[in-house]
Amino acid sequence: MTQSVQTLNLQTDMLTPIVRKATQNDRIALTDYQITPINAGATSGADVFRIHGTGHFQNERIDWSLILKILKSSAPTDQLSITKAIDGQTDIDYWKRETCLFESDLFQTLPDGVAAPHCYEIEQLPSEDRIWMEDIAEDMAGAWPLAQYGHAARHLGRLNGHYLAKRPLPDWPWLAVKGMRQMLERSRWPKFWQDYHELSAQHAVIRDNFPHAVAQQINAIWEERERFLQTLEALPQTVQHGDTGRKNTFARKQRNGQWETVLIDWGWAGIGAVGEDLAPVVPGPVIWFKGVPPGQLFELDQLAFDNYIQGLRDVGWDEDPKLARLGYTITVALRFGPRLVVPEQVALHEARRSYVESVMGQPIERFIAIMGPFREYVIACADEARELMSK
């Protein structure tokens, strides 16, 4: 059940020591504060709140803001069947993973250009963990230019390369393992494909926007999933964030004037193939309507991948770039092909339509409108992966 502002039951005396850590002022007195839910429509089992307000020290007013993320030991599966909080430590949706990450040294050993929010305090309760953390401010106003995605891709290359060239893979038992395989096990694609011909005959929204020839090519990816997965799992393995789409990446200027990429929501962090972590960076801003039109997918692909390879090189990984390209193209094909929700089908069901629109922040018609060129890109990635595998 989603936590409400009213049931948080936060008191000033509870907040004060945390705000003092956030402001690095151990004598600040709180004046007032507000609590705002910021994960409306989220597909995870966590509740996230921004708590912000003012305080004073001597005669100075001090504005402050922090994030409270509540991880819950049990959560109902959302309507998209994407995420459910569960107890298996290697499961992609293990509910305590972010607590474990903040208690580990991973965030203290990130390579240059990659950062995570600072954690102020963790409360571990019987059925939930409360993580009090830094409220990350975006230093890039508005939609990112393509060049900024290049910076983010290079930083991800350094993150992944760090565990390919410099550090051994950690043996923490709570890292997700074979996350892509787990995602596909929860896919609704088989049921959709089973019903496709009937749905297409009865509904113009499917017939006109998801033609049979395209649906067949997406289904071919599904039918080849085991071959793709085995190849992915045989590639060089590294530590990955797991969900690097635009909604989880922030651009922030360092003191030296260089950009760094702050990654939030590490709940899917685990072990994955080289190139796998880059996959959400390119399609993500298109399907989340972050200012990249579908017509720029191939351009962004080339820019992001070139920078990702440079990031790998920055930290000493000098293997064949085709290995990373194979990891990238397989992941795009699987993650954004048969795993992705079918908006044309969602449009037929009012409850699911309303839910998806709340998640995407857009009418379902806009989602449907981008799917033609988007699927063209996904299919092209699948074809490229097949060609690389044949060699």
**How many helical (H) and strand (E) elements, i.e. helices and strands, does the chain have?**
15, 11
Per-residue burial over 6-33, b if 16 or more Cβ lie within 10 Å, else e, is: eebeeeeeebeebbbbbbeeeebebeeb
For 331-366, how does the pLDDT look when each residue is reduced to its tens digit (9 = 90+)? 999 999 999 989 999 999 999 999 999 888 899 999
pLDDT confidence tier of residue 8, bands split at 50, 70 and 90? confident
pLDDT for 6: 58
Kindly report the backbone phi and psi dihedral angles of residue 136, in degrees, each rounded to the nearest multiple of 5, phi listed first.
Answer: -75, 130
State the CB neighbour count (10 A cutoff) for residue 233: 15
Span 132-146, pLDDT tens digits: 999 999 999 889 999
pLDDT at 78: 45
The CA-based diameter of the chain, rounded to the nearest angstrom, is 72
* Res 39 pLDDT > 80: no
Q: What is the pLDDT of residues 197-216, one digit of tens each?
A: 999 999 999 999 999 999 99
Strand order in the sheet with 249-253: 114-115, 259-263, 249-253
Give 145-180 pLDDT, tens digit per residue. Answer: 999 999 999 999 999 999 999 999 999 999 999 999
Calculate the alpha carbon distances from 391 to 232, 275, 384, 388 in Å: 15, 18, 11, 5
318, 303 in Cβ contact below 8 A? no
**To the nearest whole number, what is the mean pLDDT of the chain?**
93
What gap in Å lies between CA 291 and CA 293, rounded to an integer?
A: 6
Check whether 253 has a pLDDT greater than 80: yes
CATH value of 146-390 in 1.10.20, 3.90.1200, 3.20.14, 1.10.3470 = 3.90.1200
pLDDT confidence tier of residue 45, bands split at 50, 70 and 90 = confident
Mean pLDDT of 219-226: 99
In the three-class reduction of DSSP (H, G, I as helix; E, B as strand; rest coil), residue 36 is classed as strand
Neighbouring residues of 195: CB distance < 8 A, sequence distance ≥ 6: none
Q: How confident is the model at residue 80 (pLDDT cuts 50, 70, 90)?
A: very low
Whole-angstrom Cα distance, residue 69 to residue 107?
Answer: 17
What integer pLDDT is reported at residue 87 of this predicted model? 72
Least confident span in 28-42, 55-69, 155-169, 238-252: 28-42
- pLDDT tens sequence across 241-252: 999 999 999 999
Whole-number pLDDT of residue 83: 46
Residue 321 pLDDT > 70: yes
Cα end-to-end distance, the chain, whole Å: 50
Is residue 44 scored above 80 in pLDDT? no
Residue from 237, 293, 259, 286 nearest 153 by CA: 259
Residue 272: which of 334, 209, 358, 193 has the closest Cα?
334
The average pLDDT across 80-90 equals: 64
Q: With both helix axes pointing from N to C terminus, report the angle between 189-202 and 212-223 in degrees, rounded to the nearest 10.
A: 170
Range 27-44 average pLDDT:
81
CA distances for 377 relative to 8, 44, 55, 217, angstroms = 44, 27, 50, 12
Of the listed ranges 38-47, 57-66, 179-188, 236-245, the least confidently predicted one is 38-47
| 109 or 46, higher pLDDT | 109
Contact call for residues 55 and 31 (beta carbons, < 8 A): yes
Q: Residue 265 in contact with residue 248, Cβ under 8 Å? A: yes
Q: Which pTM value belongs to this model? A: 0.93
